[in-house]
Amino acid sequence: MGRRALVLGGGGREHALAWALSRSPSVELVLVAPGNAGIRGAASDGAAPIERVPIESLTPKPVLALARKERIDLVVVGPEGPLCDGVVDALSEAGITAFGPSSAAAQLEGSKAFLKRFATRHDIPTAAYTIVTDFAAAEQAIDSSSSPVVVKADGLAGGKGAIVTSTADEAKAAARSMLVDGALGEAGKTVVIEERLSGLEMSVHAVTDGERMWVLPVSRDHKRVGDGDRGPNTGGMGAFAPVTVDPELMARIHQQVLRPTIEGMAADGSPYRGVLYAGLMIAPDGTPNLLEHNVRFGDPETQVLMPMLGGDVAELFASAAAGSLDETAVSVPADRHVITVVLAAKGYPKSPRKGDAIVGLDEAGKLPGVHIFHAGTARQDGQLVTSGGRVLGVSASGSSASEARAAAYRACAQISFDGMHYRQDIAHSVLT
Ligand code: AMP
Ligand code: GLY
């Protein structure tokens, strides 16, 4: 009997996780709650079927009830919210294997103040900072900083919590909106004012069992909405992997950030299990400064990382969750390159329009090496329509970056909906 897996979440990341689990030899069924309109599928190519199931909310009680009812052997949690809310704690107590950190360990992402204090305590390089809870203290911290600052809400703010500023006035306006106007609610009642760093941004994902870790191929996402990194920030408009990283730098990231994080959490009594996604700023002298830790996979990074992996992803996750990481369960073919292009709705990121009919998916999905992961899609009177800002992630693999890129863009050209837009320059940097 194979595993029955349950993925929690409903975006492109969760579709990619479900797809990877369905191709794991140890899995017989994948459920996704609540999923999205593209998450379904009869077994094909020997993969296990994927089914969508409704759930009242991704909080411990309904998740535990669903996992019990469906006799789930492995739960994989997509977003950070349910992790911070203690979904993994509840499942683990009930004896159900769940991949992701406990709520105490999820504080690495759930509280920026926690992260900064943790980094200081364990000698992890990070920007100088002050933690404040009132506006007068924020003003003082901003005025006494010798560099421009970044103003960060302590709590989860759906990607809107970090404001990178250039002047003291801008910084004060950001701090005021959080601390005085309550723009981000509870999440902004405590604020971190930190030194603005410069350098090369990089993010690294590692799967860990609390002691050992396995670092995934390095990926890069493209945050701005427009080509050439112009326009407003988004959740991510595309990504590619692998990014070539100097081995010396990789060793420093390991020794100065990843290892002290895993050891520090264990020493502090909250061992970290799951995937750790570190956001780094590499200083000109090579210091890997930690900007943030995320306690989950990135979106759209997952849509490139899952097609990178061969083997049994379910076994990788289950072994990490059980405290006995088996990284030999998966393999990364040396010549595999993957890129993902996000197709966004009209008006994204400001005010995405919903309800536009999507056509061309069947043709696009048949192209060799192409996988289409749904995010903001819904079904209306039998027709697939847009229902969110990031509508689809078009992933393609190839034996070189240019081959993967050409396949992804060929697939994008087959798909259309009114107002669709996407970046033309994903992975451009590795080709020039
Ligand atoms: P965070 O939510 O902490 O990851 O911040 C979101 C984004 O803000 C990061 O991906 C960086 O682009 C930027 N950022 C965060 N902290 C800093 C910093 N100290 N210096 C410069 N940029 C930063
Ligand atoms: N791609 C950015 C994130 O998932 O946070």
How many angstroms separate the alpha carbon of residue 177 from the centre of ligand 1? 18
Question: Measured from the CB, is residue 290 less than 6 Å from ligand 1?
Answer: no
* pLDDT mean over 314-328: 98
In the block, tokens 């420093």 appear at: 252
Q: What is the mean pLDDT of residues 96-120?
A: 98
- 252 and 209, same domain (yes or no): yes
**Is the CB of residue 274 below 6 angstroms from any atom belonging to ligand 2?**
no
**Is the CB of 85 within 6 Å of ligand 2?**
no
Residue nearest to atom 4 of ligand 1 (CA): 292
- Whether ligand 2 lies within 6 angstroms of the CB of 221 is answered as yes
- Ligand 1 pocket mutation, candidates 108, 150, 280, 294, criterion most atoms within 8 A of CB: 150
Distance 163 CA to ligand 1 centre (A): 8
Instruction: Tell whether ligand 1 has an atom less than 6 A from the beta carbon of residue 162.
Output: yes
For residue 347, is pLDDT > 80? yes
Radius of gyration of the CA atoms of the chain, in A: 21
| pLDDT-derived band at 46, boundaries 50, 70, 90 | confident
How large is the average pLDDT for residues 334-338?
A: 95
For position 429, what pLDDT does the model report?
80
User: Domain containing 162 — which CATH number?
Assistant: 3.30.1490.20
Please report whether residue 377 resides in a domain.
yes
Do 213 and 311 lie in a common domain?
Answer: yes
In a domain, 112, yes or no: no
Number of domains in the chain: 4
Q: Is the model's pLDDT at 147 over the cut of 70?
A: yes
Residue 68 domain-assigned? yes
Would you state the pLDDT for residue 209?
A: 98
Residue 109 domain-assigned (yes or no):
no
pLDDT of residue 158: 87
Please indicate, yes or no, whether residues 219 and 311 belong to a single structural domain of this protein.
yes
In ligand 2, which atom is closest to the CA atom of 294? 5
| Rounded mean pLDDT, 358-382 | 95
Under 8 Å between Cβ of 75 and 63: yes
Q: How far is the CA of 222 from the centre of ligand 2 (A)?
A: 10
User: In ligand 1, which atom is closest to the CA atom of 197?
Assistant: 20
Closest atom, ligand 2, to C-alpha of 297 = 4
pLDDT at 204: 97
* Residue 119 within any structural domain of the chain: no
Ligand number nearest to the C-alpha of 109 = 1
In a domain? residue 117: no
Q: Which of 195, 225, 254 is the last residue of a domain?
A: 195
Residue 95 lies in a domain: yes
Mean pLDDT of all residues in the chain? 96
pLDDT tens-place string over residues 284-313: 999 999 999 999 999 999 999 999 999 999
pLDDT of residue 428: 87
- Candidate from 77, 108, 112, 299 with most ligand 2 atoms within 8 A of CB, to mutate: 299
Exposed / middle / buried, residue 72 (Cβ in 10 Å: 0-12, 13-18, 19+): buried
| Range(s) of the domain holding residue 304 | 200-331
Task: Tell me the best of 233, 293, 301, 303 to mutate to test the pocket of ligand 2, counting ligand atoms within 8 Å of each CB and taking the most.
Answer: 301
**Cβ 22 under 6 angstroms from ligand 2:** no
Q: What is the mean pLDDT of residues 134-140?
A: 98
Segment 50-90, tens digit of pLDDT: 999 999 999 999 999 999 999 999 999 999 999 999 999 99
186 lies in the same domain as 205:
no
| 43 pLDDT more than 70 | no
Q: Is the pLDDT of residue 177 over 90?
A: yes
Give the residue from 293, 309, 331 where a domain finishes: 331
Domain-embedded: residue 344 = yes
42 falls in which pLDDT band (50, 70, 90)? low
Query: Which one of 64, 88, 103 terminates a domain?
Result: 103
More reliable by pLDDT, 344 or 200: 344
Question: 301 CB less than 6 Å from ligand 2?
Answer: yes
Please check whether residues 215 and 320 belong to one and the same domain: yes
Indicate the pLDDT class of residue 217, thresholds 50, 70 and 90.
very high
Q: Residue 218 and residue 7: Cα distance in Å, rounded?
A: 23
What average pLDDT does range 328-352 have in this prediction?
96
Average pLDDT of span 259-275: 98
